[in-house]
Structure 1
Amino acid sequence: MIETGRLCIKTAGRDAGKKCVIVEILDNKFVLIDGETRRKKCNQMHLEPLKDKIDIKKGASHADVAAEFKKIGLKARETKPKAKKVRPRRLRRSKLAGQAAAEPEDKKTKKTIQKTAKKSVKKTKKKEDKKESTSEQKKDQKD
């Protein structure tokens, strides 16, 4: 019952319920299918053969299968190519130097100013804590 050109229905997987045709018998368990499904290797147990048979050669191309499907009134799977997108390109340093040379320096100076400000705040807090602790110790000694 399983032979090249036999129309089948896929019973398992992503393409379940779709019609396909056996393009080639690979071994005693697997066949190559094409049609409404993706062209791929498939287990024979996942196919339900129909009584119809299409006249195609062993290893027929997708175009041949699509033409035969059109004759019997079925539509073969067709993919659309992706639209070409424009990739963002990195500018060379020589071009960047003229356009945005000042911007990175401004960011760097801001960061260094913020870091030095944080350090100075931490140092002043430490000094104040030391002064308070020493003044408390002196008071304790007097008492």
Structure 2
Amino acid sequence: MPAPTSIRLPARSSAAVEDYLERILELINTKGYARVVDIAQSLKISQASVTNMVQRLDAEGLLKYEKYRGLALTTAGEALARNITRRHQLLTDFLKLLGLDDDVIYHDVEGMEHHISPPTVRAIEALTEQLQRHPALLVKVRKDIDEN
């Protein structure tokens, strides 16, 4: 797990920006590159919408974009994308520990990940680490969840 402070995002970061950066990093990690068409297919939105956002992210210094070519995350964009990905994974891991269904986890993480405060992320991170270190406590928690 990363240090809790590494999960903080700049105030200017919106849910849409976070979704784009997260998806771009995922595409780069899997395919080696990310193009507008790939992002559009992945997010199930129009290429025109993606082009507009990519131009905005370029203007904000989060990526470098050349029309009709690929794009690359800047150092700042990659750092932000990695933090978003870590936060997403932390929330997923936490809910999995609690024994929730994968569909529920996916839906809930997509809803929570953009609205959760840094102090809450740190609290969930600490709780996740404690539950992983103390299986007996995790068993008790899961039993309580199942009984309610």
TM-score bucket (shorter structure): under 0.3
- Structure that is richer in strand per residue: 1
The structure that has the greater radius of gyration is: 1
TM-score (norm 2): 0.21
